Amino acid sequence: MKETTPLVIRLECLPDISSVRDLERYGFKGYGRFAVLRDGDFWIQDLHSSYPAEMEAGWYWAIDEADRLLVSARCAISDGESLFRNNKPVLARLIEELVNRRLIRRPRAIRVA
């Protein structure tokens, strides 16, 4: 039986980047922003984006060379930590969207590092 490699998710302090050159400099395979809007909808974009005016809370995401998913708060570190507590559904939605965009494989297991 083949062992399953878990999707590793790490809370990091990601930079606010918007160019392919910076993407390569930081060693990211993918990068973008995601948010919860005031009406409760989920919003996600890639490297070339800005947060929408109707954002309630926002974060950054990146995929590094080791295929780890890195997430970062836009403001206070507690906003980032909330993704692993009361905002778990937002983190789950991010994973779902990244799978749908074929940026990561559908995880069979997840490990928070």
pLDDT, position 1: 36
What pLDDT sits at residue 54? 94
Determine, yes or no, domain membership for 1.
no
Whether residue 89 lies inside any domain: the answer is yes
Give pTM, 2 decimals: 0.88
Please state the domain count of the chain: 1
* Domain contains 90: yes
Is 35 contained in some domain? yes
pLDDT < 50 positions in the chain: 1-2
pLDDT for the residue 113:
85
Q: Give the residue numbers spanning the domain of 54.
A: 7-112
Q: Is residue 2 part of a domain?
A: no
Task: Round to whole Å and give the CA distance between 47 and 35.
Answer: 14
What is the predicted pLDDT for the residue at 2? 47
Mean pLDDT of the chain: 89
